[in-house]
Every structure is written in structure tokens, then in C-alpha cells.
A = this chain, B = another copy of it.
Amino acid sequence: MKTPKALLYGGDYNPDQWLAYPGVIDTDFKLFEQAHINTISLGIFSWASLEPEEGRYDFGWMDAIFARAQRQGMNVILATPSGGKPNWLALKYPEVRRVNPEGVRDPQKARHNHCLTSPVYRQKVRAINEQLARRYGNHPSLALWHISNEYGGYCYCDLCLGAFQDWLKAKYGTLDALNEAYWCRFWSHTYTAWDQIRFIDSGVGGLVLDWKRFMTAQCCDFIRNEVEPIRRLSPETPVTTNLMGTFPDYDYWQIAKELDVVCWDAYPVWHSEETAAHESNAALNAAFRHDLTRTLKRKPFLLMESTPSQINWAPVSPLLRPGMLRLAGLQAMAHGADSVCYFQLRKSRGSCEQFHGAVIDHVGNGETRVFKEVASLGASLEKLGNVVGSATPSKVAVIFDWEARWIFESAALPMNQEKHYVDTVLAHYKPFWEAGVSVDVINASADLAPYDLVIAPLLFMVSEETGARLSAFVQRGGTLVTTYGIAAVNETGLATLGGVPGPLRKTLGVWIEEFDALPEPSRRHVVAEAGKAHGLSGSYEARHILEIVHPEGAETLAVYGDDFYAGQPALTLNRFGKGRAYHIASRNDDRFTGDFLRFLTGELNLPCAVASGLPRNVSAQVRVQNGRNLLFLLNFNGEPVEVDLGGKKYTDAETQEAVAGKLSLAAYGSRVLAEA
């Protein structure tokens, strides 16, 4: 299979919207050249243009675009058009439209809302995909297949529910098994026939979990149907679909298995006001999702979409400050991206994205600030092309697990406010990001062999198998950190019996009896035990969830400082096999998490991109190509900063000038340095 050699620079391009506007497409291709753009993503929403009526195809305009791309030496990323169904199809075949949980079928509107089960839709998609694969599958400009667009959402039609019942039958075999797995005698909900399973009751954790697993599986199956003609007719070209970071609907670990390369659409709201929540830190969030996407296949990924300017679907999206466009692009590459692509190259004139940022604005020329920044980054990227394919090795893994998140978020708990699964994972990722330590973001069933340190924040669901794997990791010498919420339920959402954390009770050496729930803005305190600091000093604030933990072999490193549980363990360490297992019993402030994880970083001698530390909101990441380190230095502050490179010597990868000692970075400034 061929893979693109060049760093892909470009983005979504919808020339079919402009066929009635003479000269526009000519201008576009001139501007692409001017901006060093080498890639267009084509046909993402072109179904109605390609198949204006059932079975009648029109490829003329697309042929012309392919020809232009070829003349200009550009790569084409060709989409299958299933993300937007034509009106004629949606109205002729109602079954392709989704049904909502209340049983009402969608009208034809918007996009991304087709039934994943409908045989008609699958057949129509396969037919148009076959046409595309046959016509362009071996075109020399074709670089990548872009399957559909931003898959998401659920359908509750009879076809989907029927398929779900079949999926459950295959999984559980008998209704008795399913009834036990879901604890169906509760409220008299025992199923006595498979077709009684019709309503996804949000109160039944196991059912919610299985529904989301099934919908993930159904999406995978839908993708297999989409790619069938492509694999057959265009076997050399890799296949992707654009993911969306931590998007909750599907388990991306399953989706990734269907793809040759993964990519994602990154839309942080840069320059939005920052609050205490990690979710509001755009740079941190983007970094985390880049790492998550990369880890899905543990190899370089693509940045498929991003905005060169503002977005128009957030409450407020400030202008990108000068330098921010380059900074955001280089950040993606720093974390393993082999592309910088935008949505979109030319701004639509109408409909709901007409005021979303684009490379070429409605003014239609290259005179805008945005276009100039795009062109400037394009020139730089031509000098950074050799980053393609380089690795980002990590010794630390943070677990972000869709299934654990689903069951935690749906569980009715003594604490139903301030759940914050994503933010909690971010809180435990942040100290590494701040220190320039590369992190893989894995799920709970990942192979742990590559890592020295595994952090499992809020891992609410732990099966016997996962418990055994985490235990073995520690046994073999690994360091494991768990937090409050660990192992409350098993893989069907049944509560752990016989003492939480169930399969990890021996590994962690604790029994967790119960937890206090504190409403905002209540706080309690955590203090380190004398002589056992582990990086901790003074008193920390704890909030929301505070477990009552009984050591069963574990050592107490820190205790609560107040309330009726004063003196009881807040941080424990169990030495188990050749490794160590820590448990953090309460949701603590960032200072606690930072102090403790920095201590582990030092203790385990984890590699940092810049040894001497980094200013606040400055990120440093390393990519390794043939044993040579490429250092990305990224200043997310609106003011200049100075970074101490220590004793190391570098060459600027763009200018080739030598760099060492103290390096200045402008406001939103970014540099790429090759280690000497």
C-alpha cells in the first residue's frame, strides 16, 4: 500500500459549490500554489452533485478537479459521500433516516444522521463508492480514501433495535445470562423474549454500555460495507475516516481497527477565557487529543481538519492572534501528525458554515491576514518535510477508556454533579505535558508492555481480565497509579462484590469502604505523612469525592486533614511484585497532582524534552527520525518567554541556524530544532 511521502498541507475543498461562478476555481488553484498547499480533500458532501438522481452519475466536474490537481502535482484525499445523503434518497427511502429515542423519524436535514443499519442505505453507499473507486481508485493523484465524515450518533429504528437484539443474543446466548448481567429483576424488568429489549433505559448501566458497544460495532460494520469496493478496486490506497478526539459516541479503539491510518478534526477554541477547569485550556486539550489519536495506532496520524481562523459554532470564537495558526499546526506535528489540513480551503457562500474560517475568504483573494499566515506556514512546512513518519516514543501511559467513561457518566451516584471524567484524565496528563514528557493515551485493554508508568484516572470499570493485566504490569516492575472511583463495576456494569477495588484489591493493598460527596464549593484537606513526602509538601485541597480507604498491606503516604475521616489515608503505596501501586483517594488540587507526578517522573527517570524545565504554558515535544531528535518548542502564551535549552546544541530546522543556551520565543511563537 502506498503512503504519502510528503507532509500533507491543504484541506477540505468543495469546488462543486462554485460551478456557477466562473473564474473562482482558477483563482483557487493559483492561490493554492501561492500558499504551498499540496493537498485537497474532495467530495466530502458531493453525493447530490455526483448522483443528481438515482443511478444517474455526473463525474465531469470531479474529473476536471482531479486533472487540475495532477497538473499542479497535488495530492487528492477522496471522500465517500455518505456523510450527507441527497434529498431524493432521504425522501424516497424513509428507512435511511434515523429514529430518535422517542420513536420519531428525523426529517431530512443537516448531515451525519443516516441509519447505520438500513440495507437500502448500505447498498446505495456501496454503489456510489464503487463508482468512485472504479473511476479514481488508481488515479496517480489519489493519496488517501476519506470514508464518510465524522461518524456519530445513534439510531433507534426497528432495524437498529432488531440488529441490537441479534447482537445481544450472540453475546449472551440466553436471556437468563442477560437478565443476570443487567440485574433485571430490579424493578421487575426481567426480559422473557429477546424482542422485549426495545428501550435503552438510561438507568440500566449494562444496557447503556452494551448499546454503545453495539453502536460502535455497527459503525465498524458500516465502514466495512463502505470500504468493500475500495479495497477491491483501489487496493494500494490507504483508508481513513476523520475522528474527533474524545468524541463520546463510539469507542475509537474499535473504529481504528477498520482504518489504515487515523486522522482527526481538531477545533480547540483558541484564546477563549481560561478557568480552573482543564477542559478550558485549549493547548492542553489539543495536545491530549493529538496523543490519543496517535496512540490509536501507535504511529503518525493526520490532522485532517482545523480552522485557519475562527470557528462559527462555538458561543464565541476570537480571532487567531498572529502566530497562532503556525503554532497550532506545529503542535499537531509535534505530537505525531504528518499533515496540517484545514476546513476549508474556500469559504462557502451560503448555509450554516458560511462564516466558518477558511483559507480563502469571501473576498476571494490572497490579501487577507489569514491567507498570508497560511502561505507562510506552507513555506515553512516545505522545509520540515522530513518529519514524515518519525516516531514519538513514550514511557508513560494515561488511560482514557470509552467504556469506563460511559458507565461512570451514566451511573447514578451519591455524587452526580462535577463528574468530569475527561477533565480528571486531563488533570493527570497535564503535569507530563507541562514537563515535556511524551505520553501515550491508551484504553484499559491496551498492551502495557511499552510503559514504565501507567496512570488510571477514574477507571470506574475494571473487568477481571483488566484487573489481572494491571496486576501483572505491577508484578513485572511497572508503576501503577489509580484514583478514587477505581473498579466500582465490572464489564456489564454490575457492582464489585466482596470489597472494592475487587480484582485490584491485592495489587493496591486497600479496601475502599465508601466515599464522601461534597458539593461545591466545599473543600477538605490532604496532608503528607511525615517522612513519606513523595514530592508532597504542606496541605492540599480535596473536593467532590473523598474515599474512605482501609489499608490492607499498603503504606499510607498522605492522610485527610479534617472532618470525621481526619487521619485516614488519602494516598497509599503498595509494593507488589517488582512494582509499585499507588492509590489517590480524593480529587485533589493541581498542585497535589503536579507534585506527585513530577516526583514519579524523577523517580522513574522518565525522559523530558527539555531537561531544565519549561515556562508555564510552553510545550516541548520530540519526534525521532532515524535516531535524531526533532524538538518542537511551542509558546502558548500571549507574551514572549525564554526557554533554557541546557547544554544541548540544536540547528533550527527551517533556517539551519545554530541554536543553544537560552532561546527566546515570541508571543505564540514556535520553533523546530534538530538536535545536533
Question: Which of A190, A191, A353 is most buried by chain B, counting CB atoms within 10 A of its CB?
Answer: A190
A518→B271 CA distance, assembly (Å): 9
Output the nearest chain B residue to A546 by Cβ-Cβ distance.
B319
Oligomer copy total: 3
A414→B415 CA distance, assembly (Å): 35
A46→B199 CA distance, assembly (Å): 21
Q: For the complex, is A362 an interface residue (Cβ under 8 Å from B)?
A: yes
Pick from B16, B180, B190: contact of A20, CB below 8 A. Answer: B180
Pick from B84, B184, B519: contact of A187, CB below 8 A. Answer: B84
Q: For the complex, is A449 an interface residue (Cβ under 8 Å from B)?
A: no
Pick from B91, B317, B319, B369: contact of A196, CB below 8 A. Answer: B91
Q: For the complex, is A189 an interface residue (Cβ under 8 Å from B)?
A: yes
A455 to chain B, nearest CB (A): 24
Q: For the complex, is A463 an interface residue (Cβ under 8 Å from B)?
A: no
Interface readout for A345-372 with B: 1 if CB under 8 Å, 0 if not?
0011111111111000111100011100
A309→B515 CA distance, assembly (Å): 11
Output the nearest chain B residue to A107 by Cβ-Cβ distance.
B199
Contacts of A368 in B (CB 8 A): 513-514
**Contact assessment for A564 and B414 in the assembled complex, using a CB-CB cutoff below 8 Å:** no
A135→B516 CA distance, assembly (Å): 44
Pick from B184, B311, B498, B548: contact of A363, CB below 8 A. Answer: B498
**Contact assessment for B495 and A192 in the assembled complex, using a CB-CB cutoff below 8 Å:** no
A110→B207 CA distance, assembly (Å): 13
Q: For the complex, is A499 an interface residue (Cβ under 8 Å from B)?
A: yes
Pick from B47, B205, B363, B522: contact of A513, CB below 8 A. Answer: B363
**Contact assessment for A310 and B353 in the assembled complex, using a CB-CB cutoff below 8 Å:** no
**Contact assessment for A273 and B522 in the assembled complex, using a CB-CB cutoff below 8 Å:** yes
A277→B398 CA distance, assembly (Å): 44
**Contact assessment for A188 and B81 in the assembled complex, using a CB-CB cutoff below 8 Å:** yes
**Contact assessment for B45 and A186 in the assembled complex, using a CB-CB cutoff below 8 Å:** yes
Pick from B361, B519, B564: contact of A316, CB below 8 A. Answer: B519
**Contact assessment for A52 and B192 in the assembled complex, using a CB-CB cutoff below 8 Å:** yes
Q: For the complex, is A123 an interface residue (Cβ under 8 Å from B)?
A: no
A347→B204 CA distance, assembly (Å): 15
**Contact assessment for A199 and B108 in the assembled complex, using a CB-CB cutoff below 8 Å:** yes
Contacts of A414 in B (CB 8 A): 310-312, 314, 316-319, 355, 357
**Contact assessment for B205 and A316 in the assembled complex, using a CB-CB cutoff below 8 Å:** no
